[in-house]
Structure 1
Amino acid sequence: MAATERITMTMRELDRFKVIQDVADGRLKPWRAAERLRLTTRQVRRLVGRLREHGPEGLVSRRRSKPSNNQLDAVTADRALSII
């Protein structure tokens, strides 16, 4: 018996999963999915490949729980706060 694993998805990611699943199952054309998701057909093909390779967790944002690239380092932030 395989253990089930929980995946946290936003509503937007869940909608994306449903559309990409329909494309993977052949119920929806990639160009129609691209229109619905406001993506290119190439990106839809990439998402279908990621879904087939990694399952639903492949469609979850990889940036989740990571710091922003636009953050100030601690020294600069402290200096700015001391000036203010």
Structure 2
Amino acid sequence: MEAPAMSATGTITMTMREVDRFKAIQDVVDGRLTPTRAAERFGLTTRQIRRRAARLREHGSEGLVSGKRARPGNYRPQAATANHALSA
């Protein structure tokens, strides 16, 4: 599945946690921080850090934003079930 194309003037909404991770991953990409130190800082593995650094190189900052944003949860009840439960 491909990431959606974004224009140069598009807006990306990030949480403060995502911004903090973006800065650290950017430091890893730029060589100012080792993947091991970044992994320790966020409680991740070095493999996860390397994968996120590769995603940052390929997709830019939007590659680090959660893909689950604005999508319903997996365990959300169906509308009919929710209405039935609320009417009882």
Equivalent residue runs for 1:28-39 within 5 Å: 28-39=33-44
Q: Indicate whether 1:74 and 2:79 are aligned.
A: yes
Match of 2:20 in 1: 15
Q: Once superposed, which parts of structure 1, at least 4 consecutive aligned residues long, lie more than 4 Å away? A: none
For structure 2, the residue ranges without an aligned partner over 5 or more in a row are 1-6
How many equivalent pairs are there?
82
Question: So what's the TM-score if we normalise by structure 2?
Answer: 0.87
Cα RMSD, aligned residues only: 1.3
Give identity over the alignment, percent.
66
Deviation at 1:78, TM superposition (A): 1.2
* Structure 2 CA distance for aligned equivalents of residues 3 and 10 of structure 1: 20
Deviations 1:51-78 (A, max 9, x none): 0000000001111111111100011111
Distance in 2 between residues matched to 1:60 and 1:3, nearest whole Å: 17
* Structure-1-length-normalised TM-score: 0.91
